Amino acid sequence: MRVGFIGLGNMGGPMAKHILDAGHTLTVYDVRKEKNVQVLDAPVSGGPMGAQQATLAVMVGGDRAVYERVKPVLDAIGNKVSYIGTIGCGAIAKLVHNRIAICT
């Protein structure tokens, strides 16, 4: 099976090795700058209709300079694109958004 794996630190490195040893194929990403790749987390909200109409809310976490550079791309899919904070903050905002939706 082809597996995507994020984080090759003290725990992730050995875990990834076990997955490889079990015969699976890995595509990996680590926070170290291995191939000059920059990453943002950018979960969305708005459902299929929002995707069709490009009216999604996009909650972005990561390096602000990277966000500013790719914002025109994000603006193409949503009309409520927001920089939330460092990497992972977009995902946290999405989780909070989902939790509030469940409680109302």
Q: Could you give the residue numbers annotated as active site? A: 94
Strand partners, 3: 26
Pairing of strands 44-45, 56-61: antiparallel
Tokens at residue 53, please?
A: 């109409």
For residue 42 the two structure tokens come to 């950018």
Going by their DSSP bridges, the two strands 25-29 and 2-6 should be labelled as: parallel
